[in-house]
Amino acid sequence: MESSNPIEELHQPLLKKLLCYPLYVIFPILLIHFYLDPFYSSSTNIIIQTPFTNPITTPPPSLPFSLCDYTEGEWVPTEAAPLYNGSTCATIKNGQNCMAYGRPDRDFLFWRWRPSHCDLPSFSPSAFLRLVSNKHVAFVGDSLARNQLESLLCMIASAAEPHLVYTSGEDNKFRRWIFPSHNATFSIYWSPFLVKGIEKSAEKNFNQLFLESANEIWAKDLKDLDILVFSAGHWFLHSAVYYQNGDVLGCHYCENHTEIGFYDVFGKALKTAFESVIERGREMDVILTTFTPAHFEGDWDKLGACAKTAPYKEGEKILEGMNEEMRRAGVERVQEARARARDSKVRFRVLDVSKIALLRPDGHPGPYMNPYPFANGVGEHVQNDCVHWCLPGPVDAWNQILLDLISRGS
Ligand SMILES: *[C@@H]1O[C@H](CO)[C@@H](O)[C@H](O)[C@H]1NC(C)=O
Ligand SMILES: *[C@@H]1O[C@H](CO)[C@@H](O)[C@H](O)[C@H]1NC(C)=O
Ligand SMILES: *[C@@H]1O[C@H](CO)[C@@H](O)[C@H](O)[C@H]1NC(C)=O
């Protein structure tokens, strides 16, 4: 397998650098590290908020456009096995194929999300395929977008086989599949800022974002897309300089410019992305998967960084701080876009999974981002992924909600 030593080499200098930063900055930097690690990249995540699902009672509407708030609920045990595993699905990224890499416990597979006020139908691969037949579904964003799309492809693959028809970019950052049986197309576009940007490099240790321009890498294809799922956010935590209309707007953890944080910046990037979709004027479903929290506890490179093997109970953890701010930035921009697009053919929805994800500390690859990490005993450093999700895993539920969301039309 493609494992081993890049990790050691990459981490030593990184750790030294990290000592200069306040702790709060460290996770973001680690995240970037994950994203840049060749074995570790894009995935997808989606948060879901579904409009009308058999309300049992009338819950207080926490989102104006949602009659049933999926975000209220709990993870309950289920005996139903996942729709796929690493043997039945060929498209799982190595670092997220946890069982194949030796994760010993299985309990994390047997939970389902049960909303408090409505029923969430189980995922039907054939229903999903029918819904997207003759359509083009695109996932745009970072490695959590990829994680979610790979989950979705695996879930659908239990009914029909996807054919990979296009791949490009380092680490498969751009790929396209077709399900010939339904003429359904799925694409993934790597665009972690959604807007035009230059990713940090060895020469420039910060990202550069151009907030007024949607990233053409996906925007150029808008004329062909029918369903567009955006999933981004974690890259906004990294140090960056922000430009708007040729001027420096400010920066985040950088020298020489005014610190402006990243919540508003994330909001601006979403707004630019959404505007570009509205301007295109094509009939389209646009869904934003909200920010999903990481679950690092203690040192990320020590045993036990995210070692829990069961979900949190309802109320045991609340969404707060940066996780909630990032979620809110997304939800509010979708609400605005929804109002803006009222007379257009674009339907905006939010897949509000932030809280649902928060309750799943057990769903990450942890040390099993690398193959059999303990084959030679437990070393001093154990690299952990507490950001992405094992496949199968909790992210499958995002897609269960996604299906419900897009099947409801309005
Ligand atoms: C994967 O799923 C198939 C079909 O359900 C099953 O036969 C097989 O044993 C599973 N493999 C693993 C490793 O769980
Ligand atoms: C197949 O789907 C694409 C959209 O992805 C559509 O443009 C095309 O017309 C479809 N082909 C047929 C034969 O319906
Ligand atoms: C910040 O300004 C100093 C002095 O002009 C310059 O040497 C340095 O390269 C600048 N840093 C960045 C990241 O541009």
DSSP readout, 188-212?
Answer: EEE-TTSEEEE---SS--SEEEEEE
How large a percentage of the chain has pLDDT more than 90? 75
Q: Beta strands of 194-330 (E only): which ranges? A: 195-198, 207-214, 227-231, 240-244, 247-252, 284-289
Instruction: Identify the band that residue 171 occupies on the pLDDT scale cut at 50, 70 and 90.
Output: confident
Q: What's the rounded mean pLDDT across residues 87-91?
A: 88
Q: What's the rounded mean pLDDT across residues 120-144?
A: 97
Instruction: Identify the band that residue 66 occupies on the pLDDT scale cut at 50, 70 and 90.
Output: very low
Residue 315 is predicted with a pLDDT of 87
Q: What's the rounded mean pLDDT across residues 176-182?
A: 97
Rounded-to-integer distance, Cα 195 and Cα 81, Å: 39
29 has pLDDT over 90: no
206 has pLDDT over 70: yes
**263 within 8 A of 329, measured Cβ to Cβ:** yes
Instruction: Identify the band that residue 119 occupies on the pLDDT scale cut at 50, 70 and 90.
Output: confident
320 has pLDDT over 60: yes
- Residue 135 Cα to ligand 2 midpoint, Å, equals 7
Backbone angles phi, psi at 198, to 5 degrees: -120, 120
- Residue 217 Cα to ligand 2 midpoint, Å, equals 22
Residue 23 is predicted with a pLDDT of 37
Domain ranges of the chain: 6-193+270-408
7 has pLDDT over 50: no
Residue 379 is predicted with a pLDDT of 87
Choice among 30-34, 157-161, 162-166, 176-180 with the minimum mean pLDDT: 30-34
**1 within 8 A of 371, measured Cβ to Cβ:** yes
Q: Give nearest CA residue, ligand 3 atom 1.
A: 256
Rounded-to-integer distance, Cα 278 and Cα 264, Å: 21
CB of 344 sitting under 6 A from ligand 1: no
Specify the 3-state DSSP secondary structure of 156: helix
Choice among 88-92, 266-270, 400-404 with the minimum mean pLDDT: 88-92
Q: What's the rounded mean pLDDT across residues 217-232?
A: 97
* Vertex 33 angle, CA 27 and 34, to 5°: 90
* Eight-class DSSP state of 99: T
- Return the best residue to mutate from 131, 181, 182, 183 for the ligand 2 pocket (most ligand atoms within 8 A of CB): 183
**84 within 8 A of 392, measured Cβ to Cβ:** yes
How do residues 243-296 score in pLDDT, each as one tens digit? 999 999 999 999 899 999 999 999 999 999 999 999 998 999 999 999 999 999
Residue 50 is predicted with a pLDDT of 35
The mean pLDDT value of the chain amounts to 86
Catalytic residues: 143, 385, 388
Token pair belonging to 96: 């997220």
Choice among 6-20, 61-75, 90-104, 116-130 with the minimum mean pLDDT: 6-20
Instruction: Identify the band that residue 60 occupies on the pLDDT scale cut at 50, 70 and 90.
Output: very low
| Residues belonging to the chain | 410
Nearest to 174 by CA among 228, 209, 218: 218
How do residues 295-313 score in pLDDT, each as one tens digit? 999 888 999 999 999 999 9
Specify the 3-state DSSP secondary structure of 404: helix
115 has pLDDT over 70: yes
- Return the best residue to mutate from 203, 204, 208, 255 for the ligand 3 pocket (most ligand atoms within 8 A of CB): 255
Residue 67 is predicted with a pLDDT of 57
* Vertex 325 angle, CA 45 and 63, to 5°: 75
Rounded-to-integer distance, Cα 387 and Cα 258, Å: 29
- Residue 257 Cα to ligand 3 midpoint, Å, equals 10
CB of 80 sitting under 6 A from ligand 1: no
Q: Which ligand is nearest to the CA of 81?
A: 1
- Residue 133 Cα to ligand 2 midpoint, Å, equals 8
Residue 90 is predicted with a pLDDT of 87
